[in-house]
Amino acid sequence: MAGRLIHQVLTRKLQSQSTVPTFSWFTSRKFNEEARYAGMRTVALLGAGISGFLGFATIASADESEHGLEAPNYPWPHSGILSSYDHASIRRGHQVYQQVCASCHSMSLISFRDLVGVAYTEEETKTMAAEIEVVDGPNDEGEMFTRPGKLSDRFPQPYANEAAARFANGGAYPPDLSLITKARHNGQNYVFALLTGYHDPPAGVTVNFVLHYLA
């Protein structure tokens, strides 16, 4: 009886001595592995962040060098949180485009209906659209025909294709102005600085007859 009791006590003690270190070693190893993996993830994320920042800085630097000097930031009245566009200014801008820009630059993504309620009334816009002729069809006989423009039509193109545009502009291709403020660095500031930056060439500077001097 005493021997059996001693055997049970020794067995329990042996089990407690062998189990605790094993569990402690397993827990410590698992903790170390998790800590190592967490450290590796942190380093990887940090490296990705640094690479992204350097890549962004490189792109921004290349963008600046491509577009030259930075355009100034103008105090636009519509840049505030609660501000809106001046509809009279939009109307004047469209008139300037029609009279000056439309002979070379297209706005292929803009339809006449986009002007309704923004710069003109619906009747004014319909009258404006009807002044152009649009090639449509085919008709029941399979032939193309021309018709007056309507609100759903896009603005007319100044040239039939890119080759014709380059030929008429000394090899330069006039960009489409539909999304020009999104396609250029510093958007509307760039466009305004460009439009107001043309001057007569200084003495001794010769400019091709189809080009203009931009200061």
Domain of 125: which CATH number?
1.10.760.10
Q: Is 199 annotated as a binding residue?
A: no
pLDDT (0 to 100) of residue 11: 53
| 63 lies in the same domain as 111 | no
Report the percentage of the chain scoring pLDDT > 70. 67
Name which residue leads in pLDDT, 39 or 54.
Answer: 39
Domain that holds residue 58: 1-68
From CA 87, how far away is CA 76, in angstroms rounded?
A: 14
Q: Is 204 within a domain?
A: no
Model confidence band, residue 69 (pLDDT cutoffs 50, 70, 90): confident
| 59 lies in the same domain as 92 | no
Q: Contact, 152 vs 130, CB < 8 A?
A: no
36: phi > 0 → left, psi -120 to 50 → alpha, else beta; which? alpha
Q: Is 87 annotated as a binding residue?
A: no
| 92 lies in the same domain as 161 | yes
| 64 lies in the same domain as 121 | no
Tell me phi and psi for residue 53, to 5 degrees.
Answer: -65, -45
